[in-house]
Structure 1
Amino acid sequence: MSNILLTRIDNRLIHGQVGLTWINHIGANLILVADDEVAYDDIQQNLMDMAAPSTVDTRYFTIQETIDKIHKAADDQLIFLVTRTPENVLKMVEGGVPIKKVNISNMHFKEGKKQISSTVSIDEKDAEAFRKLHKLGVELEIRRVPDERKKDILEFI
């Protein structure tokens, strides 16, 4: 059984908050980026590797690879799973990835999205994915850093 400590939605994937603050807070030794684009982009992977602590391993899988491989993780792999969208999380949960809690941090504003916190903007597609995740028993919190007060996303959708 995989040992996913936390799943995070963050458009930026691996950066300072992920690489330092959250890793130290949850005690992960592996950052798994589940993203169909980054899985095939060595340049983005190299840049993100620079933001990760040298004591932490990184892996870059497509959403389907994550579904297929997560159950093969070694018992000593303490996984911090990072992806860009709630739809990705929903695909993984529906595919059997044992995600129990999702930290929602950065979902950038763009045309057609409604800003619901200082760093999170959603559209109806995002809201529907969050509602489905909630029905599947996944805890959903908006929180940028560990010492910030959690907000339940369901209050906003």
Structure 2
Amino acid sequence: MIKLVRIDHRLMHGQVMFSWTKAEGIERIIVIDTATAEDDFKRMSLKLAKPQDMKVSLFSVDQAIELIPKIKKLKENTMLIFGNVTETYKFIKAFGAVPEINYGGILDRPGAKRFSNAIYLTDDEVEKSRELANMGITLYMQQVPTSNKDILNDKL
């Protein structure tokens, strides 16, 4: 069962591994990030970062789309982590709407507009986010579970 969908350019790190997994009772993490899936060093680093008692899988977005039937059947409380809006959008369009998407950390880049201290979106990412919102998905900015949820839908 998908409990949390998060976009965070850092993928797995302290906030994810400790606060979010405990707050949501996460038993499995699926990282969907093509750049990481295709880079041996990044893959190895991700494996080293995971706690021993946590199931972690890493897929490119295309691999994850092929695995949607299996992902939908998972019984464990599962967290999907994406490294960027574009791959989140591509996966969710294939997967179908989820109730909400947590925007946790998206780097500032040339042409990106600031939406919070940790969220910067390009025009293309704003458009993709609008399309996700139009699917009935609540998009919210929240770095850790104890901070306030800031709804992104109305700011796009």
TM-score (norm: length of structure 2): 0.92
1:33-44 → structure 2 map (5 Å cutoff): 33-44=31-42
Identity rate, percent: 25
Post-superposition Cα deviations, 1:87-115, rounded to whole Å, max 9, x if no partner, equal 21211121125532110011010111111
The alignment partner of 2:7 has SS state of strand
Partner of residue 107, structure 1: 106
C-alpha distance in structure 2 between counterparts of 1:98 and 1:13, whole Å: 21
Partner of 2:91: 92
The runs of at least 4 consecutive aligned structure 1 residues that moved more than 6 Å come to none
Distance 1:103 1:49 in 2: 23
Structure 2 residue corresponding to 1:13, chosen from 8, 11, 14: 11
| 1:4-153 alignment runs, 5 A limit | 4-73=2-71, 75-97=74-96, 99-153=98-152
| Secondary structure at 1:9 match in 2 | strand
SS of residue matched to 1:104 = strand
Q: CA RMSD in A?
A: 1.5
CA contact (8 A) 1:63 1:88 kept: yes
Checking the alignment, whether the CA contact within 8 Å between 1:63 and 1:92 is kept in structure 2 is yes
AA matched with 1:22: W
Q: Tell me the secondary structure at the aligned position of residue 136 of structure 2.
A: coil
What TM-score comes out, normalization by structure 1 length? 0.91
Change (3 A) 1:68 1:98: farther
Verify the 8 A CA contact 2:97 2:137 in the aligned structure 1.
Answer: no
8 Å contact from structure 2 (residues 97, 135) kept in 1: no
CA–CA separation in structure 2 for the residues paired with 1:103 and 1:125: 18
Q: Specify the code of the residue in structure 1 equivalent to 2:32.
A: A
Pairwise CA distance, 1:41: 2.1
What CA distance in whole angstroms lies between the structure 2 residues aligned with 1:14 and 1:75?
20
Runs of 5+ consecutive residues of structure 2 not aligned to the other structure: none
Q: Answer whether contact 1:106 1:120 (CA < 8 A) is retained.
A: yes
Unmatched segments (≥5 aa) in structure 1: none
